[in-house]
């Protein structure tokens, strides 16, 4: 008799290359815990429906506990016939408890079984990822609170723009990660639905109580349509989409810090734990951790694209193409688990150099403040913008800093300039003038810190 779960209809042997081509056990073995958890709940559901006895259910549950112990302790022995995790676990269960194991699959298909396993597995991984995200945000918030006095250039187009607080820059990344955490919590709701009981596609014929089964497995509800239940991979696409955007946010942090850690900037120095040297040039300290964060973003974006391509032309309902959902999902989860922790490590250990940040502040970054000085004296902004531009041009022609222009020089551009214009050339004052919600003043930054602290406590 064939050992394949699907083998009754076949008489010929399978091409060995096809055996390997078809098998998913090399990668879906990580679902062993979820597969056993779902099977134990299903055995109890079969007993409630009167399809097996309470004693048979106890035998199945106890046997699966033993199978789980073997996996957990690294003693589980895979066999050549174990094409997937479901086959492997049922085969081993049969060896342990005999023919009663064959009743476990009653009314169940690998189609609804695997959809359930993946949702169970991903639900736990999402919880872990949330913990890593919150740790990253917490490190960033506390660093922002401790280093709120430091000023640095803010950039647009990678050109010096206006002075900002270093803490404001840190929090700009923290807010992006907070949105990532919010999106992850949102998609977790759609992951947490039970497809088990959908059968192969048409539903379960034995009056299984799906809602009780969902409650037993901790699901918030059930998938409402059996055809959709076995074929839906939206929850994986949504997760991969979340992961791609989160990695883009990590990549942008990495790019900033790569630039800021260069000799030309010198705003930060990475800890040795997250850097490497050159095989040729002994003076080099390379930001490899950050470069890998940036590089692995392409890997995660590619995973999303690969699954979308798999799904875009599938007919209803289950097709073997869907086996291709797992490797990009597993790889993406592993990548995000590592990258979030690495980013947290980098931010918690890097050394910042406020003196280098302050040295990079130049009076030309206060040209907008010069324009705003005139606005406060009733001059229309479009006019003041032009006047401030003319002041910048005059300073460039003379080869002096913008702040070196005299009051007489500025009055030559507009009579509204007075002696107190000298107050414009104060970087701290410039930062403090941006005293609106979301701005870079001390009060506004402290408010952001408080908001994020409250969110972290929620």
Which one of the listed residues 86, 278, 348, 430 is annotated catalytic?
278
In this structure, what token pair is assigned to residue 393?
A: 């041009």
Report the run of H or E that residue 191 belongs to, with start and end.
helix 166-191
Q: Are 117 and 84 in contact (CB under 8 A)?
A: no
Sign of the alpha-carbon dihedral angle for 388, 393, 394, 399: positive
Report the run of H or E that residue 338 belongs to, with start and end.
helix 326-349
Q: How far is CA 82 from CA 23, 76, 163, in A?
A: 8, 12, 62
Residue 35 to residue 217: CA distance in whole angstroms: 12
Which one of the listed residues 109, 157, 172, 226 is annotated catalytic?
157
In this structure, what token pair is assigned to residue 402?
A: 């913008």
Decide: helix, strand or coil at residue 193. strand
Q: How far is CA 203 from CA 51, 84, 221, 223, in A?
A: 16, 23, 16, 11
Sign of the alpha-carbon dihedral angle for 197, 203, 206, 208: positive
**Is 157 a known active-site residue?**
yes
**Is 278 a known active-site residue?**
yes
For residues 423, 427, 428, 433, the Cα torsion angle rounded to the nearest 10 degrees is 70
Burial of 160 (0-12, 13-18, 19+ CB in 10 A): middle
Looking only at the bridges linking them, the beta strands covering 193-194 and 221-222 are: parallel
Residue 192 to residue 278: CA distance in whole angstroms: 47
Looking only at the bridges linking them, the beta strands covering 159-165 and 193-194 are: unpaired
In this structure, what token pair is assigned to residue 4?
A: 């394949």
Residue 435 to residue 89: CA distance in whole angstroms: 62
Phi/psi of residue 452, nearest 5 degrees: -70, -35
Decide: helix, strand or coil at residue 295. helix
Q: At what angle do helices 110-146 and 166-191 cross, to 10 degrees?
A: 160
Q: Which of 370, 356, 457, 353 is nearest to 418 (CA)?
A: 370
Q: Are 112 and 196 in contact (CB under 8 A)?
A: yes
Q: Which of 95, 102, 116 is nearest to 35 (CA)?
A: 116
Sequence-distant (6+) residues with CB within 8 A of 451 are none
Catalytic residues: 157, 278
């Amino acid at each position: 008799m064939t050992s394949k779960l699907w083998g009754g209809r076949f008489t010929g042997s399978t091409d060995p290359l096809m055996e390997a081509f078809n098998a998913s056990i090399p990668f879906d073995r990580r679902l062993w815990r979820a597969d056993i958890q779902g099977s134990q709940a299903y055995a109890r559901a079969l007993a409630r429906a009167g399809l097996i006895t309470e004693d048979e259910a106890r035998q199945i549950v106890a046997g699966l506990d033993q199978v789980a112990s073997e996996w957990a302790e690294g003693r589980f022995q895979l066999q050549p016939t174990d094409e997937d995790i479901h086959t492997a676990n049922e085969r081993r269960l049969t060896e342990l408890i005999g023919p009663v194991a064959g009743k476990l699959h009653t009314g169940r298909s690998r189609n609804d079984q695997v959809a359930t396993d993946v949702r169970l597995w991903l639900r736990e991984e999402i919880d872990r990822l949330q913990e890593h995200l919150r740790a990253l945000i917490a490190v960033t918030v506390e660093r922002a609170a401790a280093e709120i006095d430091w000023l640095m250039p803010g950039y647009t187009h990678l050109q010096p723009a206006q002075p900002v607080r270093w803490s404001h820059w840190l929090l700009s990344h923290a807010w992006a990660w907070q949105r990532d955490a919010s999106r992850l919590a949102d998609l977790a709701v759609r992951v947490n639905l039970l497809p088990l009981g959908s059968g192969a596609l048409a539903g379960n014929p034995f009056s299984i109580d799906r809602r009780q089964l969902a409650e037993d497995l901790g699901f918030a509800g059930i998938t409402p349509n059996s055809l959709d239940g076995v074929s839906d991979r939206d929850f994986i696409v949504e997760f991969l989409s979340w992961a791609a955007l989160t990695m883009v946010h990590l990549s942008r942090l990495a790019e900033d810090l790569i630039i800021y850690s260069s000799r030309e900037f010198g705003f930060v120095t990475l800890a040795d734990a997250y850097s490497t040297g050159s095989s040729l040039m002994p003076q080099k300290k390379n930001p490899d951790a950050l470069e890998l964060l940036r590089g692995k973003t392409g890997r995660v974006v590619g995973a999303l694209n690969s699954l979308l391509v798999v799904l875009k032309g599938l007919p209803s309902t289950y097709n073997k193409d869907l086996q291709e959902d797992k490797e990009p999902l597993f790889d993406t989860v592993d990548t995000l688990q590592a990258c979030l922790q690495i980013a947290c490590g980098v931010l918690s250990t890097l050394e910042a150099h406020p003196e280098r940040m302050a040295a990079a502040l130049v009076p030309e970054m206060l040209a907008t403040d010069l324009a705003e000085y005139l606005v406060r004296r009733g001059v229309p902004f479009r006019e003041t913008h032009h006047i401030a531009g003319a002041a910048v041009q005059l300073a460039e022609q003379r080869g002096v800093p913008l702040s070196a222009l005299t009051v007489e020089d500025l009055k030559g551009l507009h009579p509204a300039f007075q002696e107190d214009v000298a107050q414009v050339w104060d970087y701290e004052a410039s930062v403090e003038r941006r005293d609106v919600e979301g701005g870079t003043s001390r009060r506004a930054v402290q408010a952001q810190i408080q908001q994020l602290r409250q969110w972290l406590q929620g």
